[in-house]
């Protein structure tokens, strides 16, 4: 078959995006086709830089060109990405493509640890990422990002004072912990906490972001309601540990977001502290909190399971010194990277399949 733009597109119509289950040409993912003699180059525009199926898609493209055009074509494929969004013309957070709430039922299950590591993982893959630490009961992001003593700047824009987020490890970050010493955080209950969250959303200079994570307080609270009433949330990541008492609370968290009046898509469940593993013996796994609790919870509610993170001393140490574990190579960072990729993949699928989430209008 002759090598032309049309024959290339026809060949690539045989390659499906394995998640969205439509072909790459229909999805407008093939760009910049260039042909010179028997040399062909083109770009595949993925829906996230953290696409776990990058290699599968690339190989499928190579196979399709060989099968439908010929084996003598020299093919050079550039894998690039453009993160998708369903958000459109919203006055709040106009440059933010996806808002991901991270929730848990119980406290202390590692919600902030997972948020910090997922955010850094996606930034390392090339995404633009921010975090709002809305955990008023225990704002831990300043510690986890080693910026406890930093103060966000303020920029005047007309009548408005805009907060400038702190930047650390490529992440834009704002926390209730920057506004009040951690030991006073408990006074930020109720309306004050809600108005602080609104300020973080409405009066902060976020610029362009692919993913903005919101680290919520544990359980279900006014802050959760404020969030879903203020902006359309793309989806929720629910973090749980595998034991029965944590799962019972996690279920309440899921129910809150899934109930009809709120109806925020669940991107999936992360099982943290899934098993203990000594760093020097990574093949030894001890299921001290039980096995597969998070996976079973996801199955029961028919929501995706995003993966498991082991209980490892280095994760706690990384949190305490403000150097997220994902930044050190090894099985722990691989586990976080897999969960980050699964989350980004779920965002892309959600954006392909569902319309923008509706902001919640609750009548009281
Ligand atoms: N997989 C893990 N392995 C080892 N330690 C962990 C792991 N996940 C979290 N931790 C540690 O457990 C503690 C609690 O974690 P974290 O603050 O992330 O929980 P949380 O659910 O956000 O808590 P909160 O209820 O305050 O919101 C921290 O010291 C953290 O470093």
Tell me the pLDDT tens digit for each residue of 156-199. 988 888 999 999 999 999 998 887 766 665 566 667 788 889 99
Beta bridge mates, 160: 157
Q: Whose CA is nearest to atom 31 of ligand 1?
A: 316
Q: How far apart are CA 69 and CA 76, in angstroms?
A: 15
**Interval between CA 183 and ligand 1 midpoint (Å):** 18
E-only strand ranges, 116-217: 129-133, 153-157, 160-164, 166-168, 171-175, 209-215
Q: How far apart are CA 15 and CA 17, in angstroms?
A: 7
At 209 the pLDDT is: 97
- 354 annotated as belonging to a binding site for a ligand: no
- C-alpha dist (Å) from residue 96 to 48, 195, 213: 14, 20, 11
ipTM at complex level? 0.98
Q: How far apart are CA 60 and CA 68, in angstroms?
A: 12
At 364 the pLDDT is: 54
- In the chain, the percentage of residues whose pLDDT exceeds 90 is 77
Note the CATH number of domain 96-353.
3.40.50.300
Token pair in block for residue 137: 């009961």
- From 316, 333, 339, mutation site for ligand 1 pocket: most ligand atoms within 8 A of C-beta: 316
- 219 annotated as belonging to a binding site for a ligand: no
Token pair in block for residue 46: 């993925």
pLDDT in tens, 6-25: 999 999 999 999 999 999 99
Q: What's the DSSP call for residue 233?
A: -
Identify the CA nearest to 219 among candidates 331, 109, 363.
Answer: 109
At 195 the pLDDT is: 87
At 188 the pLDDT is: 60
pLDDT in tens, 209-233: 999 999 999 988 889 999 999 999 9
The helix, strand and coil proportions of the chain, stated in percent and rounded to the nearest 5, come to 35, 25, 40
- C-alpha dist (Å) from residue 70 to 23, 40, 62: 20, 12, 10
Only one residue has tokens 């499928």, namely 60
* Mean pLDDT across 140-165: 92
Identify the CA nearest to 112 among candidates 272, 342, 351, 257.
Answer: 272
Give the strands of the sheet with 74-81, arranged side by side: 30-36, 39-46, 74-81
In this prediction, residue 338 has a pLDDT band, given cuts at 50, 70 and 90, of very high
* Mean pLDDT across 114-127: 97
- From 102, 104, 107, 108, mutation site for ligand 1 pocket: most ligand atoms within 8 A of C-beta: 108
Please answer whether residues 110 and 273 qualify as being in contact, where contact means their C-beta atoms are separated by less than 8 angstroms. yes
User: Is ligand 1 within 6 A of the CB of residue 351?
Assistant: no
For 5-81, which CATH superfamily applies? Fe-S cluster assembly (FSCA) (3.30.300.130)
For β-strands 30-36 and 39-46, DSSP reports them as: antiparallel
At 95 the pLDDT is: 94
- C-alpha dist (Å) from residue 200 to 110, 178, 203, 231, 281: 23, 12, 6, 12, 43
pLDDT in tens, 278-333: 878 888 999 999 999 999 999 999 999 999 999 999 999 999 999 999 999 988 99
* Average pLDDT of every residue of the chain: 92
What are the start and end residues of each CATH 3.40.50.300 domain in the chain?
A: 96-353
Token pair in block for residue 150: 């930093």
What's the longest Cα–Cα distance across the chain? 72
Please answer whether residues 106 and 74 qualify as being in contact, where contact means their C-beta atoms are separated by less than 8 angstroms. no
In this prediction, residue 91 has a pLDDT band, given cuts at 50, 70 and 90, of confident
Question: Three-state SS for 245?
Answer: helix
At 203 the pLDDT is: 93
φ and ψ of 102, to 5 deg: -110, 120
């Amino acid at each position: 078959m002759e090598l032309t733009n049309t024959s290339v597109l026809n060949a690539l119509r045989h390659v499906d995006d394995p998640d969205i289950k439509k072909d790459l040409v229909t999805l407008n993912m093939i760009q910049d086709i260039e042909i010179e003699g028997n040399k062909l180059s083109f770009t595949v525009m993925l829906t996230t830089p953290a696409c776990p199926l990058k290699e599968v898609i690339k190989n499928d493209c190579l196979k399709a060109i060989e099968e439908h055009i010929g084996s003598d074509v020299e093919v050079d494929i550039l894998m690039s990405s453009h993160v998708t969004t369903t958000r459109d013309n919203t006055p709040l957070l106009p440059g933010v493509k996806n808002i991901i709430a991270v929730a848990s039922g119980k406290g202390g299950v590692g919600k902030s640890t997972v948020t910090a590591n997922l955010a850094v993982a996606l930034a390392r893959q090339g995404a633009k990422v921010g975090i709002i630490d809305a955990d008023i009961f225990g704002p831990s992001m300043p510690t986890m990002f080693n910026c406890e003593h930093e103060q966000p700047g303020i920029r005047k824009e007309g009548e408005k004072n805009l907060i400038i987020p702190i930047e650390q490890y490529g992440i834009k970050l704002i926390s209730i912990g920057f506004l009040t010493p951690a030991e006073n955080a408990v006074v930020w209950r109720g309306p004050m906490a809600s108005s602080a969250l609104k300020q973080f959303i409405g009066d902060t200079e976020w610029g362009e972001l692919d993913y903005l994570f919101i680290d919520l307080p544990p359980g279900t609270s006014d802050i959760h309601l404020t969030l879903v009433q203020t902006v359309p949330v793309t989806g929720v990541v629910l973090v749980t540990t595998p034991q029965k008492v944590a799962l019972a609370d996690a279920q309440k968290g899921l129910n809150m977001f899934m109930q009809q009046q709120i109806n925020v898509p669940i991107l999936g469940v992360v099982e943290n502290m899934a098993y203990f593993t000594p760093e020097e013996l990574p093949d030894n796994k001890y299921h001290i909190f039980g096995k597969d609790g998070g996976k079973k919870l996801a199955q029961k509610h028919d929501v995706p399971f995003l993966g498991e993170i082991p209980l490892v001393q280095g994760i706690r140490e990384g949190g305490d010194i403000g150097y997220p574990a994902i930044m050190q190579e090894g099985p722990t960072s691989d586990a976080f990277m897999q969960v980050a990729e699964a989350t980004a993949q779920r965002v892309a699928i959600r954006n392909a399949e569902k319309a923008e989430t509706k902001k919640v209008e609750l009548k009281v």
